[in-house]
Structure 1
């Protein structure tokens, strides 16, 4: 195995290692309640990471055993995967750029407005006819039950900075409703008139809560935005490493062909 193939083997081993955090971040995303309930959002990073792993492994094998055809296929496939990662990155940044959160006076957590998120994200998640399935899935999860395990008094609950967007939107009524706290998922109605339509949708029934509210849809989008922003950091680092590996691998591939031609010339094959 020539020097160029040695270099390519090492580079592909680095690419194999790079695929691991991508797969891990995909598994982390797929384990979140919001992604579990939106099936199309669950596996793209896992699939992408596995493809990078397989392509990098083929490049490693091609370089180690000097299979030039396999190396050429590797270079073509890796270029395609890098383009896909770049497109996914740009798309994810565009659709998650608008932040639908707003600060509530006297509260440690934030609340969310549906119309403050990107139109694509709103349409895909909340206007696609799938919300009935999503809210049923959310109601069957323990996302709201966890609040009752973590908070006892109203002071603890109102001061918390650890309530997720999904919990803020789906597990309690909007603060503007003026409901009285009994527990994180149990509230009593106020006597005064209520302006926010979500206030009429709140129900102390544990299977309903605010799952029909726009605040819940906004909270779901807030969770998705927060999680995908974290995943994007891993993707940025990964794509930088992959581009660096690919550029050097292309150079090494050309050098390997030159070395092979030179060896044939020395042996009298040319």
Structure 2
């Protein structure tokens, strides 16, 4: 394939490996080669994800057939990759049987209610998956750091959340807590990209601009959250998310491994990368060794 023809078409259309190799041999333009490689890699990754996305549809069918419910909490710092992962998880799902819930600021009425009440109102019906893009764990990190709750409200939450979750599990709900763990350096890079890219500037909020400055405060709250809310019945799954594709790929596997659904494709390796998907205990150990924070708070 001649290089002039490649310029006449979308680089993302270059899908054939043989064509890709020819371009590598024939094209003297290094920047163009990098772009071709980036686009080819992206499409290859999307194909890999699609294999698992087919399995997610099977999981949905299983839940619907057996009238089962599933709740997935997706937590993490801003720019940790939560939104992109949720979009990949739900891309081909049956819209009738899943919802993504991202609640805004509570109303005056909601502030006067039991803290968990507005979340409970969003719980799944039989045969449905509900994914919380941020959840009641706002009260364990964002709210106390920015003063959106009182110390008493924070302590009450920390003392009651595990019993609340274990009650959900006792009632037969498939319950999964995922935390996307991004490094400070990578978060900074993603914030800079949001500032410079007009298509992503809407993602950058006033609070985001303070995230780097308050990194240690969030780390202290994260440490306590993982230490006190990780239980045998309701554990946290930590996904290291500096590499977006690897994080998304392993997040979908984590979800698929939560339910013993029917018609699972035996050709797929459902094991997760142990360097990417780790336990809360392992994350706490890493934080204790590397963080310059007071972990005894």
TM-score in terms of structure 2 length: 0.22
Q: Which structure carries more relative contact order (alpha carbon 8 Å, separation 6+)?
A: 1
Higher percent of residues as helix: 1
TM-score in terms of structure 1 length: 0.24
Higher percent of residues as strand: 2
